[in-house]
Amino acid sequence: MKFSANLGFLWADRPLPEAIRAAKAAGFDAVECHWPYDTPASEVSAALSETGLPMLGLNTRRGDTANGENGLAALPGREAEARAAIDDALAYAAKTGTKAVHVMAGFSGGPRAHETFVANLSYACDQAMPHNITILIEPLNHYDAPGYFLSTSQQAAAIIHESGRDNLKLMFDCYHLQIMEGDLSRRLARYLPLIGHIQIASVPDRGTPDHGELDYAHILAEIDRLGWTVPVGAEYKPIAPTDETLSWLKNRST
């Protein structure tokens, strides 16, 4: 099993290029991030080239974070801002060889939000196609992100089918989906053709994937059995310096 370090949480106290080097030294097979835009793409590209690690994904900008925004793509009337955020993310991804962009929906709801989200995703998929970049959508749980537009795998699958775009995929975050739905083994099998990335963290504390209510020995074995070969994203919140929280990775690697 291969693993990707989510640098939004891991080594978050370091500049992004240094975090990439730390992930390589720790034995990760890939990296991913949240919002890398304060770091010049050339510096990220240099660190990726030096380490040989691929960057699997990054997020679109959240919007006005001072006012609590967490994405723009499902907000009616904000289409111009949402598409500018998509353009920025795709440009950064293209410069760094990043394989996927997570288009963040934001806090919204109702039919107009749905229509807006689908239209913005269609735009994103069209713009991503020439760069061979996958567009991801991710359900978030209602405890961490109350009011977020996208909250279940079923809702995400319906949107993917409605869009009819081959480069629109589901970000299957085991942490969020266990909280919202559970039954992860069957859900992984059911949605495997639609999944573009998988992430893990313990439930309910979003810590290292070696404790809590999810048995990751079983979940990871199931992911392997299904034929998944892309690195699984470790998107957990370390309660100590990241290097002191990696016993789970060393144990999985033996």
Active-site annotation, residues: 138, 235
Distance set, CA 31 to CA 122, 198, 211 (Å): 26, 13, 23
CB 5 within 8 A of CB 234: yes
Nearest to 145 by CA among 252, 62, 207, 249: 62
Q: Cα 16 vs. chain centroid, distance in angstroms?
A: 17
Any bridge partners for residue 233, and if so which? 4, 199
CB 179 within 8 A of CB 145: no
Distance set, CA 150 to CA 4, 9, 106, 110, 212 (Å): 24, 22, 8, 11, 25
Q: Are strands 100-102 and 30-32 parallel, antiparallel or unpaired?
A: unpaired
Token representation of residue 187: 């859900």
DSSP 139-167: ---TTTSTTBS---HHHHHHHHHHHT-TT
List CB contacts of 183: < 8 A, sequence separation 6 or more. Answer: none
